[in-house]
Amino acid sequence: MTRNIHTMTTMTTPATGPAATDALADEAAIRELFAARAELDSLGATASPSRLERALERLEAAQRASERTLAQAA
């Protein structure tokens, strides 16, 4: 199989610059928010209070980060 290395590099090289950085930050904030919600949802009634507290703190931090990225985009 013959491959053109220039085409492959172009297709696999991530975008750079402020817009790309902002997009990556937005994606990371959204991923963390979903992960924090999933973690909290997965905890059952038998979870310790400290575990619940950590999960809530993670969710709150993710919500703040998500709100910051939305505010910066506006």
Measured CA to CA, the distance from residue 32 to residue 63 in angstroms comes to 9
Chain-centre distance for alpha carbon 5 = 31
Q: Is the pLDDT of residue 65 over 70?
A: yes
List, for residues 32-64, the tens digit of each pLDDT value. Answer: 999 999 999 999 889 999 999 999 999 999 999
Strand runs labelled E in 1-74:
none
Share of the chain above pLDDT 90, in %: 47
Cβ proximity of 56 and 40 under 8 Å: yes
What H or E segment, with its residue span, contains residue 62?
A: helix 49-73
pLDDT of residue 15: 56
pTM above 0.85, yes or no: no
pLDDT of residue 23: 78
Q: Is the pLDDT of residue 31 over 80?
A: yes
Residue ranges of the domains in the chain? Answer: 17-73
